[in-house]
Amino acid sequence: MSNKTIKTALISVYHKNGLDPIVQELSKLGVEIFSTGGTQKYIENTGVEVIPVETLTSYPSILGGRVKTLHPKIFGGILSRRDNDSDVAELSTYDIPEIDLVIVDLYPFEETVKAGSSEEEIIEKIDIGGISLIRAAAKNFSDTTVISSMNQYGKLLSILQANNGSVSLEERKNFAKESFLQSSHYDTEIFKYFVSSDVNKAVDFNQKSQLRYGENPHQKGWFFGDLDGFFDKLHGKALSYNNLLDVDAAVNLMLEFKDDKPTFAILKHNNACGLATREHLLDAYNDALAGDPVSAFGGILISNTEIDVATANEIHKLFCEVVIAPSFTAEALTVLKGKKNRVLLVQKQFELPAQQYRTILNGILFQDKDNVTDKKEDFVTATIKAPTANEIDDLVFASKVCKHTKSNTIVLAKNGQLLASGTGQTSRVDALRQAIHKAKSFNFDLNGAVMASDAFFPFPDCVEIANKEGIKTVIQPGGSIKDQLSIDYCNDHEVAMVFTGTRHFKH
């Protein structure tokens, strides 16, 4: 039968807020209630009759409360299949009552970790009995209703009152689904605690938003996390899956420039197509746009400082999906809100997770983020000729962009402006040729530009090609067994080259 009338219930909860109306309704319906410890006393204080679990199991709570409900007379009653003759016979043989409703929540593990409690206190908040009861009841949703959070009390109460204590199969299955989400989140938080405290900020599986679609319209998509904790959305349509990928890339890139002079970046498909640092934000925007005004169409824009009305007026001329800044002046907002779908985001102060993970095959890849930013103090000049002070500034600039561009990549920059980059190429030479072609197509003079590479040069071909275009300063990690070939070419042609010692692959 689709509908199941609740005749017995097991209630054992840590959080008791809002439990009283449920207990009163169950009592009114004549439901037999089993309970433990503090929950049992709470129910008794409401005047409702309750049977201690110990009476059912003939076993006391032991090990300081670590073992209370882990008993066949409890789990047999929850997991028994009501339409299975063998299950029904075994319940009769061992005098096990069917348990139709399980109301159990979990110890506040996540809150205990966030409170900075001792490891002993944290470990004691790893729920064993509760998570087992929830999973058992959720597994047997065909016969059992499971409530795993006080947030579900209102829904359960409405169902009980509307249907005289009966719960439909669809309702039971939905409760089961929510319970497995709850248990998944709980176990993930425990895993994250043991892996690293920093990972606690990686994903909040309790906060789920369905997106219009995934990467393409035929794919479903969701976002798990708290966007409102990171941004104040001031205007525009809902962010899409691809928007979120680009926003993430933009935020991570601009973090490299958070303490610099006004800097503006334009991104497309997770890569910067324009970026510039200037004394004034308007100039930074104009020079970022000049880097690739074609790719900028439909892009993601981000600033490291407040967007003023002069800059907003220029931005408004461009079709763009999202604009991100620490703040906007009132006049700038008025202008930018002129396009109803344009998303305007104010980025809050927020620490990003220190780890990253992605699904592959039938598992997960997990790694520390690339938190190394190449600084001039770390540069080792590998050639006879050393870069000038201005060239060093451009090398730092180009290296920051290079770190956040898909590999293989070559970045060309000059005077605090991205001239072009070769992105996601299968060879470094192809990446360089792509960057040179793009720079020339937008009429940039490469004489005096610098070149950054995300990985070492196994051959001198890239420095040779760059030198012939007038590029006389290079930054790369170094570390190839054939580094000397590139060094020799640079020395023979008066090219300055520095090594950083740090590779920045990005896939």
- Catalytic sites, residue numbers: 139, 269
Q: Which two tokens stand for residue 369?
A: 């983020």
C-alpha 257: how far from chain center: 22
Q: Which two tokens stand for residue 274?
A: 């324009």
Question: Which DSSP state fits 319?
Answer: -
DSSP reduced 3-state for 373: coil
DSSP reduced 3-state for 6: coil
Asked whether 79 and 142 are in contact (CB, 8 A), the reply is no
d(CA 387, CA 367): 34
User: How many residues are listed for the chain in this entry?
Assistant: 507
Peptide bond just before 408 cis, omega within 30 deg: yes
d(CA 314, CA 444): 22
Angle between helices 483-492 and 461-468 (to 10 degrees): 20
Q: Which residue has the tokens 């408004």?
A: 316
183's enclosing H/E stretch is: helix 169-195
- Own/partner pairs, 208-217, CB within 8 angstroms, 24+ separation: 208/181, 211/238, 211/239, 211/240, 211/241, 211/244, 212/238, 212/240, 212/241, 213/240, 213/241, 214/241, 215/241, 215/242
d(CA 150, CA 289): 52
Nearest residue to 352 via CA among 370, 334, 333, 327: 370
Phi, psi of 436 (to 5 degrees): -65, -45
